[in-house]
Amino acid sequence: MKFGKEYVGQMIPEWQQAYMDYASLKSILQEIQNSRKRSDKSSTLKRKQAVHHNFSGLTKRYSRAASSLELENQDILVSKAIGDDGFERYETTIMKVAEEGRESEFVFFKTLDLEFDKVNHFYRSKVEEMVKEAVVLNKQMDALIAFRIKVDQPSSSWSCTETVSVDMNALNPKKQRKTLGDEMGIEVEENGSNGGDSTKESVPEVLSVLDRIRLNKTQETPLSTIRNVLKLSNQEELKFTRENLKKIEERLKNVFIEFYRKLRHLKNYSFLNTLAISKIMKKYDKIASRSAAKQYMEMVDKSYLTSSDEINKLMVRVESIFVEHFASSNRSKGMNLLRPKVKKEKHRITFSTGFFVGCSVSLVIALGLFIHARNIMDAVGQKLYMETMFPLYSLFGFVVVHMIMYASNIYFWKRYRVNYPFIFGFKEGTELGYRQVLLLSFGLGTLALAAVLINLDMEMDPNTNDYKTITELLPLFIVGLVIAISICPFNIFYRSSRFFFLMVVFRCIAAPLYKVSLPDFFLADQLTSQVQALRSLEFYICYYGWGDFRLRQNTCRSSDVYSTFYFIVAVIPYWSRFLQCVRRLIEEKDSSQGYNALKYLLTIVAVCLRTAYSLHRGNVWKIAAWVFSALATFYGTYWDIVFDWGLLHNPSKNWLREKLLVPHKAVYYIAMVVNVVLRLAWLQTVLDFNFSFLHRETMVALLAILEIIRRGIWNFFRLENEHLNNVGKFRAFKSVPLPFNYEEEEDSR
């Protein structure tokens, strides 16, 4: 693989703009090479290289000790100056320039200097952030050690006025007092020790930190939300129990893992950019027939990007502290926790996915042949089957199509380097790839299609006029199996992803009692496209709960209770999103959330009116459904394209964003048109399009699938916009809440 592709592949996506622009520099080198070729063709005589002492107005600031002979033998001279912002700035002067390609060489070094300054400044700013975080972690470790002492040796044994020193061998205080700043020159407050004995420490001195801290609530609950509304404190009182100690250690362990991950990324950032400079300078020397790489790399080696060792020292200290405090001094265990887990693609996943795809295709073909051979479409029980069994099985079709669309999203997110695991907040190493999602979707599809084929026989027992109980219960069995797997507590079938999904579903249902995060409103938006699936679940409850499934008979559609819940079920996803928008409006004071809430309110009215028209008919319902559906469609389309996708919001001359991930702009225009067309699917409800060869339930299912496809397309561009926003703010790491809060920090806010 060429270095350019490998370089881009190893970048942190959110920091991409902060890396060396290797491609741009390479294109300038290509111009230098082309100009030299043109010069060689025009003249066979060698031209004497002219010496230029000025480079585009850059200041020469080289050592006076350098002799004129040494300067003449150098191809370039790199000088350093301190800018007004306190950062170093490097300027390169070309000492010898041939006539051919001269301007291009000036541009090359001008661009190279600017790119290096950008990288150097970014790296220094990030290191300063890490140093500040290290100071905060020092204080957190102080509190943790004091908390451990308090738990192991209850406070009842000590008074604040005591100066007794106790044996602390069990807790290794000498090791525990190590801080992240020890080798960094960071000033941190040290607790006193008793005399020269390194194994003894004044307990009251160590415990004094507990008087200034409170526990932070890291897990939001409906109760904590209510306490916030009532302006009550959400901080926990310090209870020195082993259960609390275990929770605190787990929180702080996660903080250290994330902190170490940041350090690793910064170290890789430094290495990768240094390597890119080295590669580009070697290319320059080869193309321009110079020896400039050595001088330039000497400057790079002395710069902050390469010479600073703060990150390495911090990494060593983090490893030492983490192993001692969170891995029981087992270095192998500690480093396994700190280092990122590399996901290995397993061949059995690919094989199993292919197997289930083949099974699904075969079953679809078999189903078509079975229907044709038995002429089932004209059978007596066809209408009864479509009104009872088809809605039961269509549920699996909706779910499978949505999962296939999600797998496609993952594939294209990865292809265009959208960091979806970070955006969604998945636990590192547990996110599902598109192969895993396809495996689950086609596995469920195979199971459902097999059940349909078994259940398609419409013949009754002539003696009892009953259908076979086992086959009639197949849809319920599959639903029960899916639910059982979803809530299974054992570490099988991607437990981390299952529990994450269930947690977000619960937060959506409990809106607005939870702070709204991206996974919450993203999933709620998915549910708004699964209204028919939710109605199918309602039919499951009615059919198997109050109907006679052995006779395929029910009174669901004639029941007022069922009709009422037919409205409620359709409204639930939109109502959840409405409440999420209201909470964000109140918390974030963002007026756009109010307009977004209005969008969902309009959609709720439109859905209710269309449902009322489909159940009761009448011109009044039809006109009302037309008006509000048209308003909701226009509003929703505008919001999708302008705000969720960011395509027509402050657009460039092409009516799109300045930054796009997909190189072909036509993709965005097509997506916008498709979004509008698919949003108009509701027209079938009010215009009553009917096809003789399609049953009403089939038409409803097809329209629902079109909405799922629209949502799948929406997913890609919505996350692309979110990714670009993160890139603009260089947000590449999740914020991990700290277990302790110092009172002085709270007072300074």
Q: What is the pLDDT of residues 149-204, one digit of tens each?
A: 888 876 544 443 343 333 333 333 344 445 565 544 444 444 444 444 444 455 66
Quick one: pLDDT at residue 1? 64
CA distance 212 to 235: 13
Q: How confident is the model at residue 644 (pLDDT cuts 50, 70, 90)?
A: very high
- Residue 213 DSSP SS3: strand
Residue 679's identity, in one-letter code, is R
Rounded Cα gap, residues 64 and 81, in angstroms: 15
Can you list the alpha helix ranges (DSSP code H) found in 289-309? 293-302, 304-307
Give the pLDDT of residue 385: 86
Averaged pLDDT for residues 487-508: 93
Residue 61 has pLDDT above 60, yes or no: no
Coil, strand or helix at 571: helix
The mean pLDDT value of the chain amounts to 83
pLDDT at 592: 92
pLDDT recorded at residue 729: 64
**CB neighbour list of residue 341: distance below 8 Å, 6 or more residues apart:** 428, 429
Q: Given this model, what pLDDT does residue 198 score? A: 40
- Summarised one tens digit per residue, pLDDT across range 422-450 is 899 888 788 999 999 999 999 999 999 99
Report the distance separating Cα 720 and Cα 661, nearest Å: 7
The whole-number pLDDT of residue 218 equals 62
Residue 222 above 60 pLDDT? Answer: yes
pLDDT at 712: 97
Residue 280 has pLDDT above 90, yes or no: yes
- Average pLDDT for 303-322: 93
Asked if residue 688 has pLDDT above 70, the reply is no
341 pLDDT above the threshold of 50: yes
Fill in the amino acid letter for 448. Answer: A
Q: Which of 650, 621, 619 is nearest to 721 (CA)?
A: 650
Quick one: CA torsion of 647, 650, 651, 652, rounded to 10 degrees?
Answer: -150
Mode of pairing for the β-strands spanning 165-167 and 96-97: unpaired
pLDDT for 557-609, tens place per residue?
888 899 999 999 999 999 999 999 999 999 889 899 999 999 999 999 999 99
| Backbone phi and psi for residue 345, each to the nearest 5 degrees, phi listed first | -70, 125
Q: Rounded to two decimals, what is the model's pTM?
A: 0.83
**Residue 739, preceding peptide bond in cis (omega within 30° of 0):** no
Max avg pLDDT among 1-10, 63-72, 708-717: 708-717
Confidence (pLDDT) at 101: 58
* Domain range summary for the chain, segments of one domain joined by +: 347-728
Query: pLDDT-based confidence at 232, cuts 50/70/90?
Result: low
Per-residue pLDDT band at 269 (split at 50, 70, 90) = very high
pLDDT at 183: 46
Beta-carbon contacts of residue 87 (< 8 Å; ≥ 6 apart): 117, 120, 121, 124
For residue 460, which of 375, 384, 392 has the smallest C-alpha distance? 384
pLDDT of residue 163: 36
